Structure 1
């Protein structure tokens, strides 16, 4: 009886070990033969020698811009978000400002992979960029009051974060 128990225990350990899969560093999924990824017959083989189970993520910068027209009685504003380049963001913001009736539109802030805000007071404005909309708004409000403007408020806020392209 003792031998039978020992024999069944050994069989259980053997089955459990084979169910574990491939040795460390060799992917199991879609690879029933546990072929190392650097061998040409492996389902994970890549010619350049870089075998991998997943491709690396690729991120692209995204730009935003804020343009204002100070010739208006109130601040005229144009904006662009999630643009692929600084040039396109600036052109988009100026185009948006002009589409809203602006005639002397100028870019006051271009930012990428972050957030931008325009904070306006009774007699002027300030713009600021930071990692979050809240942080940019806090910095903008501080700058607005520091420059002596009253009744400061966040007039516009947006983020243009990197976008995964692969």
Structure 2
């Protein structure tokens, strides 16, 4: 009985020092094995960074809108937080430029837009990039055969990283 008590006492006093789960690595690292080639010159265990779960970036949408009236007044809004805000801003700008019957035409989210004019008409187009929007707007204008075409506006309302 005396030897059993002594054996249990020794086992309990040595047990906390016998295992090292962290492997002796500094904070932020964990044990990692070396390849066979690396192991020839070094010990078979090394410390490697603990993999971090990538942070998911949150993005906020941005809206844009184009408003026009029958007599050629324009209102353009970009980088607005909501569709409603973009429409309201474009309509307000159209009215401030002399438009009497302004209405919201093109509305776009997280995209680019272009307004291409001819001598008698205008063409609003949205696309993934500003260049694509301009190209598509010019194509529509040329196909209309309403005179020389020019880019009145091009710009983007792209998402922004949330804070």
TM-score by length of 1: 0.68
1:60 match: 60
* 1:80-119 equivalent positions in 2, closer than 5 A: 80-119=77-116
1:159 to 152, 156, 160: 156
Alpha-carbon distance in 1 for matches of 2:53, 2:136:
43
Alpha-carbon distance in 1 for matches of 2:67, 2:56:
36
How big is the shift at 1:61?
1.3
TM-score by length of 2: 0.69
1:13 match: 42
2:124 match: 127
Q: CA offsets, 1:120-149, max 9 Å, x none?
A: 001111111101111111111111111221
How many equivalent pairs are there?
Answer: 125
Alpha-carbon distance in 2 for matches of 1:60, 1:162:
5
Structure 1: which 4+ aligned runs deviate by more than 2 Å? 52-55
Aligned-partner SS, 1:118? strand
Structure whose CA Rg is larger: 2
How big is the shift at 1:90?
0.6
Alignment RMSD, CA only? 2.0
1:69 match: 69
- Unaligned ranges ≥5, structure 1: 1-9, 28-51
- Unaligned ranges ≥5, structure 2: 1-38
How big is the shift at 1:12?
5.7
Alpha-carbon distance in 2 for matches of 1:95, 1:86:
14
Aligned-partner SS, 1:66? strand
